[in-house]
Structure formats: structure tokens, C-alpha cells
Amino acid sequence: MPSPDDQSGPIWISYDETVDSASRVGPLAGRRLAVKDNIDVAGFGTTAACPAFRYEPERSAIVVERLQGAGMQVVGKTNLDQFACGLVGTRSPYGPVPNPFDAAYVSGGSSSGSAVAVGRGLVDAALGTDTAGSGRIPAGFNNIVGMKPSRGLISTRGLIPACRHLDCVSIFAPTVADAVDVFAAAVGFDIEDPHSRALPLDLRPMPASFRFGIPDPAHLTFFDDALSAAAFDEALARLAAFGGAQGDFDFAPMAEVAQALYEGAWVAERYTAIRAFFDTHADAMEPTVRAIVANGQHYSAADLFEAIDAVARARKQAALLWDRFDLLVVPTAPTMYRIDELLADPIALNRNLGTYTNFVNLLDMAAIAIPSSMRPDGLPFGITLIGPAGSDLRLAEFAQRYHHASGLTVGATGRALPPPRPLARPPSSDATVRVVVVGAHLSGLPLNGQLLERGARLEARVTTAAHYRFYALPGTVPPKPGLIRVAEDGMPIEAEVWTLPIEHYGSFVALIPSPLGIGSIELSDGSRVQGFLCEATAVSGAEDISRHGGWRAYLAALH
């Protein structure tokens, strides 16, 4: 179990001393998860690295619920650049998060604490967020993997937005296979997230002879960092040895559109995200973050529409790259800075770090940051593989081959990389069945394992329409409820929707004992999903527990 005292620097904002991963079930059972503190976790306060902003969420973010449903256990919330506004890991009242390889250097941001927790081996994986590179730069600076999914694949419901239209939940892990395990459990369409989308995933392997693009020489900069430039040349030689044919692409349009994130109209969305708090508590914010967010007040709607048009044009141009290349390859960051350098010049140096990351979400691309080498000064160097939206697993398959050929150890732990292994795949949307459960199959209850062992994933916690009565069925082991649809005097009942691979649906249904069966259940939003119903005759004489509103509340009332 990790401890707040077994590392230097302010990694944790809050921490759970009572972790007991052994009690978990599911495909990710026993794995420890850290969560960036702009993502809600029930039982932990959310601060976004601003104590005056703190609130206590009633429920976890959807991504956290899905990973907990797969067996992971949250051990703590991690430090970040305040309101996810920065790429450096120094913009927090809890203190800068030092690099595990050299404490004088930054650890990258904004997901600094999450990346360091993985790099030091304190957790098995961590969630970050990525708007401009916050899920990639910290990976590069900590010698770990940072997976930035295509926008909308992982729900951002329960995330404090930075730029809501661009935000992604990112994944930090020691290896590509570990990151994909988390990705596969987290992916899923969320009807309540307006930016969620069911995006087809490209499962083709990278061809033996592939084409990769790098920024043209006029724009390939390392800001006079000769060690990073040499490390990128080494990476290009390794890619060529893998069968890659290198070509250049015009980086100018990407650099131009990227400026809008911090120096154009898109920064207005950062102000919008925390407008009510900013307008009343701006003095409680970190000065650099406050200045950036304040700048978002000065743009007009006309400015924003011009920026949207510019991004749309850039996306059209960028889409043409996939006719020439199978993937793009860039340095994850052009250089590394010391903490004192960043504190002395926080805006310009932050901009430099985002040179090869800022454009990716704007242009609707997938990316994965992977370790590449150790520089002669003992600092890590990483590269990022970029592909079109939906290429997440294709990039990951190649990223694993590259990472394991690097000869590097895991993060800052000194442990050897484990052998590569087949990558997990999320259930495809056309090969799954949605199932509503209301009783012993709810997450954490006795029969939930029947879903988890079949690869089911928690999609959402919901309530039924107000057309049902709920009964405690006598003599059932383990205790089970019965849900009955009624013509009048019905009530809404708490439920969960699970997504089950269709090949396992038959074996799951075969486990359902009489008097329960599968029928169509109406949810509060009017949709209908298959789920557990009970034969009406079976509730004769059974206790009506509808007043409790759900099985968990009824069980709690018994104690």
C-alpha cells in the first residue's frame, strides 16, 4: 500500500489509509488507482488545487465508477496545476511536484501528482486529464505511459472542466498494456455527457512497413536543448529499424491553431468553466492561473466564432495527413525546465513545453506518450505517437512494441519492464447488451461478480420511471428484491445499467432463478432497457419496500 510519506514533494492532496484491494472483484481487482483532484470521487473532497473551491461530491465521476466497478480501488487524490491550467506542475498552493529523477526539475502538468504517483510505483495506474497536453507531458517527464484517448470515448461527467469541448480523461500507467487495461474498462458512451460519442475503434495492426511524419525542419525546435534533440534523433533511428519510412509535414498550421488555447478565444472557455467561482473568489486563486483565466473575459462571441472556424479549417488540413502517414511522431516535450526556471518565467516556458501537444485535441486526434530513452544527464525523454480519432488501440499496439524495445526500466522504480502482453479491448457497441439491475447484482453486492466475470461494465446509476413497486422476496439466498410494474401508485427505484458482452448474455440469464426474469424496464428518462422483473404472484405476502427507493437503502435500514 502507498503511503503519503514514502515520496518527496506534495503528490497527494488527500489519501485513504484504509485501502483493502483484496476485497475487490473484477478484471482489474487488486489494482490501486490515483485520481487527479479535478475528477470527483465520492468520499474525497474535490479542490482542483484550490482550497477555497473545495466541495464534497455526492457521487464519483462516471470514469471512476466504471473503474471501481472493474475492481480498482482509489487510494487518493493527486496534486495538479490549479484548475488544470498549466503544463508544469508548479501552479498549486500545495506546492510544486518535483521530478522523481531530479527534484530540481518539474514533473510536468497539469496532472503532475498522478504521473509521479505512477512513476514512483505508488499506484498501478492514475487518472489525469488532458486539454493541451496534461496527460502526455507528465508521462514524458516521469518515464511512464500517458494515454490520451480520442475525445468523447471516456465520459467527462464528474470532471471539473478546463475547456469542456476539448477535455479528455487521460490514463497514466507503467506500461502500455496497463494503460489499455484501464482504457478498456473506462470507455463507454454516456448519454448524459453532451460530448460523449460512440466512436469506432481502428483495430488494425500497424503495417510492417509504415509511414510516419515528423514536423518539418523549420518548426522542429528543442529550444537549444541539445540532449533532447539527440534523443529524438535516436528515436527516429529506432522507428526506421522498425520498418518506418520518415517524412516531414508542415507544422505551421498546427502551431498557429494551438496558440488559441492559451492566447486566443478558446481561453474564454476556461473562464466559463469556473465563472461563478472566479467572479467571487479570484483572489483565492494561484496568480498565474488567475491571470490566464481572467484573460478569457475579454473575448467576444465574434472572436470565438472566428476561432471555431479557424480550428475547423485546420482540422480539414490535418485530415489530409492520413493519406500520407500511418501516424505522426513528435517529442512529447521539446525540453525540460527546472522548477526555479518555471517560477521565474511561468507563461513563456509553459508555452514552450506545449509545442507538440497543444494542437492534438483541437484537431480531434488520439495520442499516446511513451518512454524512449534516458538522456546523459539522467532525465527521461519520451515521444508521442499521434493518429486520427479512433486510432487509440492501433497506436497502443505499436507503442507497446516500441516501449519494450527501449530497454528502459519502469518509471523511476528501477524495475525491469515486464514482458509485453496482448492488449485488452473494450466491448464494441454492436456486440453488447445493456442490462438493468436493482438488487443483489448492484456493484459491490453479493452477485455483482456474475457480471464482472463476464466482462460487464457499469454504464450508469439511474432510477426507473415511477411505475414500479419493490418487494423484499422471502427465503432468497442471497437476499433478493422483486420489481413489479404497476398501473398506479408506483415509485421510482434506484438501479444500475451494465453493458454486457453479447457472447456472455446467455450464460448470465441462465443464472437467474425463478421467480425473477428478464423484461423491459422503463427508466426515468423514458428509455427502456432489459432488466430484472419479478412474477407478480411471487410478491403476495412479501414486504413492500418501495418507500426506501432502492435495495441499498433497504439493506442500510436493516442495520
Spatial contact of 387 and 365, defined as CB atoms under 8 Å apart: yes
The closest alpha carbon to 385, from 547, 504, 241, 211, belongs to: 211
Cα 48 to chain center, whole Å? 16
CB atoms near residue 319 (< 10 Å): 14
- The angle formed by the CA atoms of residues 228, 333 and 63, to the nearest 5 degrees, is 145
User: Which of 107, 134, 170, 443 is labelled catalytic?
Assistant: 134
Cα dihedral value 435, 438, 443, 448, nearest 10: -70
| Cβ-based neighbour number of residue 184 at 10 Å | 20
Omega cis (within 30) before 478 = yes
CA terminus-to-terminus distance, the chain: 31
CA 152, CA 170: separation in Å to the nearest integer? 11
Contact (CB, 8 A) for 328 and 213:
yes
CA dist., res. 349 & res. 340, Å (int)? 11
How far is residue 381's CA from residue 232's CA, in Å, rounded to a whole number? 8
Q: Is 500 exposed, middle or buried (0-12, 13-18, 19+ CB in 10 A)?
A: buried
Q: Do the beta carbons of residue 150 and residue 156 sit within 8 Å?
A: no
Does residue 77 carry a catalytic annotation?
no
- 134 labelled catalytic: yes
Task: Please give the Cα distance from 411 to 416 (Å, whole number).
Answer: 10
Indicate the residue type of 362. L
Nearest alpha carbon to residue 382 among 341, 329, 328: 329
Distance in angstroms (rounded) separating the CA atoms of residues 536 and 516: 10
Give 18: exposed, middle or buried? Use CB within 10 Å, 0-12, 13-18, 19+: exposed
Helix (H) / strand (E) containing 348: helix 346-353
Burial of residue 291 (number of CB atoms within 10 Å: 0-12, 13-18, 19+): middle
d(CA 21, CA 29): 7
Cis ω for the linkage preceding 209 (within 30 of 0): no
Active-site pick, 36, 77, 148, 480: 36
Inter-residue contact 383 to 330 (CB < 8 Å): yes
Round to whole Å and give the CA distance between 241 and 329.
15
| Grid cell at residue 397 | 499496439
Paired sense of beta strands 516-522 and 528-534, if any: antiparallel
Burial (CB < 10 A; 0-12, 13-18, 19+), residue 422, is: exposed
Name the β-bridge partners of 463.
494
Q: DSSP character for 5?
A: T
Q: Answer yes or no: 36 catalytic.
A: yes
Catalytic site residue from 110, 170, 373, 546:
110
Active site residues: 36, 110, 134
